[in-house]
Amino acid sequence: MSETITLSLEEAKSLSLTVLQHHGYSQAHADAIMRSVLAAQRDECHSHGLYRLINCVEAARNGAVNTHAQPSIVDQAPGVLRIDAHQGCSLLSFEMGKPLLAEKARQSGLAALAINNCFHFSALWPEVEALSSEGLVAIAMTPTHAFVAPAGGVAPLLGTNPIAFSWPRPGGSPYTFDFATSVVARGEIELHRRAGKDIPDHWAMDAEANPTTDPVAALAGAMRTFGGYKGSALSTMIELLAGPLIGDVFGHETQAANAEQTGKPFHGELILALSPDAFLGEHAAQHLEHAEALFDRILGQGARLPSQRRFEARQNSLRNGVTLPKTLVDELKALVS
Amino acid sequence: MSETITLSLEEAKSLSLTVLQHHGYSQAHADAIMRSVLAAQRDECHSHGLYRLINCVEAARNGAVNTHAQPSIVDQAPGVLRIDAHQGCSLLSFEMGKPLLAEKARQSGLAALAINNCFHFSALWPEVEALSSEGLVAIAMTPTHAFVAPAGGVAPLLGTNPIAFSWPRPGGSPYTFDFATSVVARGEIELHRRAGKDIPDHWAMDAEANPTTDPVAALAGAMRTFGGYKGSALSTMIELLAGPLIGDVFGHETQAANAEQTGKPFHGELILALSPDAFLGEHAAQHLEHAEALFDRILGQGARLPSQRRFEARQNSLRNGVTLPKTLVDELKALVS
């Protein structure tokens, strides 16, 4: 076992803010990023937790993010709100847009928040859960850099393109999922590479489009979508909806930020919110209650709900704080010394 | 080779209408059903083509569909339109709701059509393509009777829950997909049973939740979702959105119609429409044109677009008519003699 350190949530918050502000993020951006990484750390989603502060620092150093960008909001249509992030991190744009998105959803029944031209590193579930905690149903999606071949193809074109969904549950944790449309997250292949382990041969292809169990060859080749041609179709839908529909680019038109400052990491994100109250009027509570029958039956046959592990971790963290590798805490502290 | 008969589209239309009206469907319902089965037959989607007229006749005989139902429309919210099908076929409700759905999408940016309490047998792609042919982006979904176990589960709970998407392409066929969230359509297992063939062991489980290659055991057990837990999460999302969100039932609360007239086949369908013009204003055409880059790159690496085969079949049928098994044509003609 590697050494770990447990921080209170207050300590983790303070460390996060210090790192971000030390590296030039405005108070508003630092607050928004801190809330996202702290939520992920609290839920023991380590890959989107405080670990990502290192990426945020690198992005700032590489000029791959505007650390002081002021998002500008356009009230585009009764059901559509657009925010230009001006190459700032997506998270502040989401926080600024959320109240009007929720208001539009409640008035129209459903509404869309389009975030354009943003630096995006975060999980989507904190955003859909921010909406479901207000009684709305939410869907979010974003294209990522092109690492994935379409079904039947031979080369990277699609992003790992995540989609997230959250459904409000009266008196309990929401029904939430958030998954990449690649077979696995790219980080999984990275972890196998670092550990010197083979990967299953259906995760990826090498640069010659042959199946490979070698993580190095996979990273140089292309990942596959989950669920074959169906996952590929969904991934393509995500590119279209969170790309051209909102006036933004495809994943294959972006590159990760790099030290040479030639990366173009900026792209779009689409968040939809739907209001059960607007769809159902006075009958909304009755139908939300009825929805519980499905969750009960899933659990009743021994299956789990997505995010269950995360909600259990959350309860633990709220009581006991968050536990991180000592090496990570040392690295974060070194960033501000 | 079994014997086939080629009908002109006019002949196929006339035969369809005759069968439906002979078995009690009102002119309006017969027209709507004819258009759907004829579109499927034209695109060589045989399982949703004229073959389905037999189901429609059975449903009418079993009292499982109101053949004269008058859908009632409620303008629920600026972005939401609800239609009670009154136990009639979903297709007439969709046709009646489509103009107002399109108008709402153009005004609000996006809008939802909820069809409740309907008899549903049709593919979803004709509906999303009816919207994309008007320049809108469309998504449709509906729960079906419970044949599928959730990931990690042991018994049928979810429907085969299809989802369809269509994206308008300037000057060409749209980008459309329409797939079940089960590994395969239930009809595929039926076809294997009739042919006395084994099925792959990842399609389904038997009644004791063991993997099975026996189609009979699979039909008595539970199918699996595509893509493991991700497909299961999507299927659950479809149940929630096209169930409680629109004030309707889950797939497990329905049963197929039967001769004893104890079936409860009625459920809901949700159709979303999004307007690129409303999202993008004067820049819409430019971004729709830009979307073509993704399709070009998919095709350019040797992959296919979903529905490509269907569009090729369509061109053939428009020139040469539709070819059906003689046994099917005989059966349909016998239904009106």
- The phi and psi torsions of A20 (rounded to 5 degrees) equal -65, -45
Question: Nearest 5°: phi and psi at B189?
Answer: -70, -40
Q: Please check whether residue B223 is in contact with residue B212, taking contact to mean a CB–CB distance below 8 angstroms.
A: no
Chain B residues lying within 8 Å of A80, measured CB to CB: 108-110, 278-279
User: Would you give the DSSP letter of residue B89?
Assistant: B
Domains and CATH numbers, chain B: 1-61+307-337 (1.10.1530.10), 70-182+224-306 (3.30.1370.60)
- pLDDT band for position B103 (cuts 50, 70, 90): very high
Catalytic residues of A: 47-48, 188
Residue-level pLDDT at A103: 98
- Six-digit token string for A60: 């700032």
Which residue of A lies nearest to B296 if distances are taken between CA atoms? A157
ipTM of the complex: 0.97
At B4 the pLDDT is 95
- Nearest-Cα distance to chain A for B26, in Å, is 30
Chain B residues near residue A228 by CB distance under 8 angstroms? 226-227
**Token pair for residue B213?**
């290659």
The pTM assigned to this predicted structure is 0.97
Residues of B with CB below 8 A from A290's CB? 244
Q: Can you list the residues of chain A whose pLDDT is less than 70?
A: 1
Best residue in A75, A103, A110 to probe B by mutation, most B CBs within 10 Å? A110
Q: How far apart are CA B227 and CA A179, in angstroms?
A: 12
Task: Please give, rounded to a whole number of angstroms, the shortest distance from the CA of A130 to a CA of chain B.
Answer: 18
Which residues on B lie below 8 Å from A221 (Cβ)?
none
State the Cα angle at A119 between A266 and A94, rounded to 5°: 120
First to last CA, chain A: 27
Q: Is the dihedral of CA B311, B42, B183, B156 positive or negative?
A: positive
What number is the average pLDDT over the span B224-241? Answer: 98
Residue B102 parent element (H or E): helix B90-108
Residues of chain A found within 8 Å of residue B281, distances taken between Cβ atoms? 76
Nearest to B278 among A77, A179, A304 (CB): A77
pLDDT in tens, B293-310: 999 999 999 999 999 999
- What gap in Å lies between CA A118 and CA B256, rounded to an integer? 48
Q: Answer for the pair B231, A262: CB distance below 8 angstroms, yes or no.
A: no
CA distance B142 to B161: 6
Q: How far is B53 from chain A (nearest CA, A)?
A: 28
Q: Cβ contact (<8 Å) for A252 and B278?
A: no
Match 């239609």 to its residue by tokens: B83
> What is the DSSP-derived secondary structure letter of residue A133?
T
Using DSSP, state whether A43 is helix, strand or coil: coil
pLDDT for A92-150, tens place per residue? 999 999 999 999 999 999 999 999 999 999 999 999 999 999 999 999 999 999 999 99
Q: Which parts of chain A fold into alpha helices (H)?
A: 9-22, 27-42, 52-61, 90-108, 125-132, 186-195, 215-220, 228-241, 276-280, 284-300, 308-320, 326-334
For residue B282, count CB atoms less than 10 angstroms from its CB and return exposed for 0-12, middle for 13-18, buried for 19 or more. Answer: exposed
pLDDT of amino acid A249: 96
Which residue among B108, B245, B293 sits closest to A276, beta carbon to beta carbon? B245
Contact A94, A100 (CB under 8 A): no
Residue B157 has pLDDT above 60, yes or no: yes
Cβ–Cβ gap A110/B110 under 8 Å:
yes
CB-nearest partner of B230 from A149, A179, A246? A179
CA A199 to CA B288: how far, in whole Å? 38
- Mean per-residue pLDDT, B122-135: 98
Q: Do B226 and A230 touch (CB under 8 A)?
A: yes
B274, B296, B310: best mutation site toward chain A, by most A Cβ within 10 Å? B274
Gap from A282 CA to chain B (nearest CA, Å): 11
Which residue type does A173 have? S
CB of B245 within 8 A of CB of B236?
no
Cα separation of A117 and A112, whole Å? 16
Inspect the interface and report whether the beta carbons of B155 and A306 lie closer than 8 Å.
no
Which pLDDT band, with edges at 50, 70 and 90, does B1 fall under? low
pLDDT tens-digit map of A154-184? 999 999 999 999 999 998 899 999 999 999 9
Distance of CA A296 to the CA centre of its chain: 27
Q: Which of A76, A108, A175 sits opposite B279 (nearest CB)?
A: A76
Torsion of CA A142, A147, A148, A153, to 10 degrees: 130
Please report the DSSP string for B24-65 in residue order. Answer: T--HHHHHHHHHHHHHHHHTT-GGGTTTHHHHHHHHHHTT-S
Nearest to B294 among A112, A236, A281 (CB): A236
Are residues A3 and A325 in contact, defined by beta-carbon separation less than 8 angstroms? yes
pLDDT at position B199: 97
B213/B200 Cα distance (integer angstroms): 6
Q: How far is CA A271 from CA A82, A101, B109, in A?
A: 10, 9, 13
Closest by Cβ to A227, choosing from B175, B230, B293: B230
- Which of chain A's residues have a Cβ under 8 Å away from the Cβ of B293? 250
Sequence-separated (6 or more) residues with CB below 8 Å from residue B253? B264, B267
* Angle (deg, nearest 10), helices A125-132 and A90-108: 30
Q: Please name the residue of chain B whose CA is at the shortest distance from the CA of residue A297.
A: B157
Helix (H, G, I), strand (E, B) or coil at B200: coil
B236 vs chain A: nearest CA distance in angstroms?
8
Q: Please list the active-site residues of B.
A: 47-48, 188
Query: Which residues in chain A have Cβ-Cβ distances shorter than 8 Å to B241?
Result: 137, 274
Quote the CA–CA distance of A310 and A333 in Å, as a whole number.
27
φ/ψ of A136, rounded to 5, equals -105, 155
- The pLDDT score that the predictor gives to residue A1 is 56
Summarised one tens digit per residue, pLDDT across range B240-296 is: 999 999 999 999 999 887 777 777 889 999 999 999 999 999 999 999 999 999 999
Across the interface, whether the CB atoms of B244 and A288 are under 8 A apart is answered yes
Q: Identify which has the larger pLDDT, B1 or A163.
A: A163
What pLDDT score does B47 carry?
87
Strands B137-141 and B267-274: antiparallel
Radius of gyration of chain A measured on its C-alpha atoms: 20
